[in-house]
Amino acid sequence: MNKTAFIFPGQGAQYVGMGKDFYDNFQIARETFETASEVLNLDLKKMCFEGPENQLMLTENTQPAILTVSTAILNVLKKEFDLSCDLTAGLSLGEYTALVNSEIISFEEAVKVVKNRGKFMQNAVPEGKGKMAALIGGNRIDVERLCYDHKQYGIIQPANFNCPGQIVIGGEVAPIEKAVKNASDYNIKRAIELPVSAPFHTEMLKPAAEKLSKELEKITVRTGLYPVISNVTGEVYDDNSNIKDYLVKQVYSSVLWEDSINAMISQGVDTFIEIGPGKSLSGFVKKINRNLNILNVQDLKSLNKSFVKLGVAS
């Protein structure tokens, strides 16, 4: 049975100018930006379209900005073009957009939570204390062995299982630097340190998770329209009552993106539409399984291209 999944990007996908095409051409997109700006008391439109880039790159701004752009595009696809999905997921921050897509969490509540989530994550680890690195070409066993062997130098753990041959690790500076240096001894072709402000999805982020827990207590979780995949388990949320717990755990746990995509494929998904800035998720999905329809919508050009592939009149 052919099914469609909507997937949403996380932090790192942002760029100045994102979402402008949709804002300029669709009333529902303008309303989405206005709602976010009102809730946050922040001119999100100006930040997304004009920058400055260093302001947009601050985690506490990046997270609500990406959520807003992704939701604005999503609203256009749903309300103007009547597109819908069978399952939904998002990478890290993108999981909040997936929950908004399923109407489990309202957009207004989500945008407020992720603004604070970004702030808590940014402040959890003092600058210069943590690092992340992308490992290219190794498998899970190789990466887990690398992390285990370098634990003697400090905290180090897998942070993102993105796709075959691309796993991100995070932790304290000393073990990450040593692991990058020694990666080739573990069948890893390349190890690249990443320009991020904190070691996301590691136990170093537990202080941020504790603060986030208090923010999540304030929001209402509703019955969803579509199944949502959890980053923490790589499986569909089987019970809405554990969504808040998993969103807290997500901050300091590995993101099981490859597992999430495979879970959707096993449920009959053959078309993945990445909605929001960038197209890194499309690349990951392609590496997980090349025999899928993979589309991305981030501007009018990609919207039209995707509609041609879907056979939808734009």
Q: Which of 125, 109, 113, 11 is nearest to 57 (CA)?
A: 11
Q: Which of 64, 73, 75, 74 is nearest to 36 (CA)?
A: 64
* Displacement of CA 173 from its chain's centroid (Å): 24
Q: Which residues of 141-177 are buried (b: 16+ CB within 10 A; e: fewer)?
A: ebbbebbebbeebbbbbbbbbbbeebbbbbbbbebbb
Half-sphere exposure of residue 298, counting CA atoms within 13 Å on the CB side?
21
Q: Which of 71, 40, 14, 74 is nearest to 280 (CA)?
A: 14
- The 10 Å Cβ neighbour count of residue 126 is 8
Q: Which of 113, 103, 121, 120 is nearest to 36 (CA)?
A: 113
Lookup result for tokens 């929950």: 99
Residues ≥6 apart with Cβ < 8 Å to 310:
271, 295
Give CA torsion, residues 269, 270, 275, 279, to 10 deg. Answer: 130
Catalytic residues: 92, 201
Residues ≥6 apart with Cβ < 8 Å to 279:
296, 298, 302
Which residues sit opposite 94 in a β-bridge?
none
Residue type, 192: I
